[in-house]
Structure 1
Amino acid sequence: MLVVFMRALILYTVVVIVMRIMGKQQVAQLQPYELAVALMIADLGAVPMQNTGIPLITGIVPILTLLMAQVLISYLSLKSELVRKLVCGTPSILISKGKINEKELFKERYNVNDLLEQLRSMGYYNIADVEFAILETNGTLSVIPKSDKRPMNPNDLNLKPQYEGLPVPVIIDGNVNEANMKEVNIDMDWLKSQLALFDVKSIDEVLLASVDAQKKLYVTKKKDR
């Protein structure tokens, strides 16, 4: 039993490291070759995990081989547009200038009902509101609405909103992140003085504290535990 446990733990660690090296894309965002590699890696890891008669190295070597192949293809795709087209394909325009492109629908084996379903899921209930719909190489649908159907933004009103930036967490679950404090150019004295405004007597009371681009502090206290 201990042998099975250790084999499973080792293979799990290898698969997690390999998938981490492959990148952070979600399954829905994977290119076809990336999805194939992910499925094969999972299968190769499961076989020696279940069958102790198979040497562990027999499962690890193919996994590392697939990793190297995937990294190589990804690198070539970055450097060569031709390789990228061969491996990933090209986007297909299913709706162009408000009209459905039947040729592309047939080519991608994408029927009208599928198209309408995808549009509804994205909030476009009337196909007449769509200027372009593009089927990306990873299978997702990108939609560009007609100009009179797009949401209003500050530029339409000649407004210039204040820069918001990205809030930076400086305290998480009672632990101070000194690197983030340096990034937003604050010190411990400033932090403590601001926490006092929220009636925080100890940093241990803080679940989350973050600082935005205007140096405004957001604080959430821990509930009594």
Structure 2
Amino acid sequence: MLVVFIRTLILYIVVIIAMRIMGKRQIGQLQPFELAVAIMISELASVPMQNTGIPLVNGIIPILTMLTAQILISFISLKSYKARNIICGRPSILISSGKINEQVFRNELYTLTDFMEQLRSKDIYDIADVEFAILETNGQLSVVPKAAKRNVTPEDLNLSVKYEAPAIDLIIDGELVSSNLKKTGLNKGTLEIELKKIGIRSIEEVFFASIDSDGKLFCQAKEKYRT
């Protein structure tokens, strides 16, 4: 039993490292060859887990081989446009200038039912509202609504807007994110002073804290420290 536990733990770590090296994309964002590699790696790991008669190295070496192949293919795709088209394919234009390209639907084995489902997930309920629709190489659908159906933006109204950057996390579950704190130009002492102004005695009492592009601090204390 202990042997099985150790073998499973080792293979689990190897698979996690392999998937981490492959990148941070979700399953729905993977290219077909990347998805194939991910599935094969999981299969290669499951066999030695179930059969202790198979040497552990016989499971690790194929995983590393598949990982090496995936990295090599990704590198080739990165360096060569032609190779990227061969390996990943090209985006397919399903609707162009409001006109449905029937032949493209047939070539991609993509039904109108699937297409309408994807449109609804993007809050578009009428195919007549679509100016362009592109089926990306990873299977995701990109849609450009017709001008009259797009959401109004400040630019449409000739309004000027101020710059707004994403908020920076400073404290997560009582732990200070020092690298982010340096980006803000603040220091730990200054932050602690700001916390005391809102009744929080120490960083350990904070569940989450962030600062926005205007320098405004958002902070929420842990439940046991709330009054």
- Normalised by the length of structure 1, the TM-score is 0.96
Counterparts of 2:183 and 2:116, CA distance in 1: 46
Q: Which residue of 1 aligns with 2:127?
A: 127
2:59 is the counterpart of 1:59: yes
The residue aligned with 1:180 is: 180
Q: Does 1:151 align with 2:151?
A: yes
Q: CA offsets, 1:4-52, max 9 Å, x none?
A: 1111011101000000000011111111100110000000000011100
Secondary structure of the residue aligned to 1:218 is: strand
1:164 is aligned to: 164
* CA deviation after TM superposition for structure 1 residue 93, in Å: 0.5
Query: 2:22 matched to which residue of 1?
Result: 22
- Quote the Cα distance in structure 1 between the aligned partners of 2:158 and 2:21: 45
1:114 aligns with 2:114: yes
Q: Structure 2 CA distance, aligned partners of 1:202 and 1:38?
A: 44
Quick one: distance in 2 between partners of 1:202 and 1:63?
Answer: 46
Matched residue, 2:33 = 33
Q: What are the Cα deviations for residues 62-118 of structure 1, in whole angstroms up to 9, with x where unaligned?
A: 110000000000000000011101110001001111111001001001122221221
Q: Give the number of aligned pairs.
A: 225
Structure-2 separation of matches of 1:193 and 1:163: 27
Partner of 1:87: 87
Deviation for aligned residue 1:156: 1.0
Mapped to 2, the partners of 1:202 and 1:112 lie a distance apart of: 57
Q: Which moved more, 1:105-114 or 1:169-178?
A: 169-178
> Segments of 4+ in structure 1 off by > 4 A?
none
Q: How does 1:204-215 map to 2 (within 5 A)?
A: 204-215=204-215
SS of alignment partner, residue 105 of structure 1 = helix
Where 2:155 maps in the other structure, the secondary structure is: helix
Please report how far the alpha carbon of residue 160 of structure 1 lies from its aligned counterpart in structure 2 after TM superposition.
Answer: 2.1
Give the stretch that moved more between structures: 117-126 or 62-71: 117-126
> Tell me, what secondary structure is at the counterpart of 1:224?
helix
Name the amino acid aligned to 2:115: L
Structure 1 Cα separation of the partners of residues 75 and 201 of structure 2: 52
Structure 2: which 5+ runs fail to align?
Answer: none
Return the offset for 1:161: 1.7
d(CA) in 2 for partners of 1:12, 1:188: 38
User: What does residue 69 of structure 1 align with?
Assistant: 69
Post-superposition offset of 1:134: 0.4
Between the aligned partners of 2:89 and 2:174, the Cα distance in structure 1 is 48
**Secondary structure of residue in 2 paired with 1:19:** helix
1:222 paired to 2:213: no
Distance 2:197 2:148 in 1: 46
Rounded to whole Å, the distance in 1 between the matches of 2:121 and 2:180 is 38
Percent identity of paired positions between Structure 1 and Structure 2: 56
2:63 is paired with a residue of what secondary structure? helix
**Structure 1 residues not aligned, in runs of 5+:** none
Alignment partners' CA distance in 1, 2:92 and 2:48: 41
1:195 paired residue number:
195
TM-score normalised to structure 2 length:
0.96
CA RMSD of aligned residues (A): 1.2
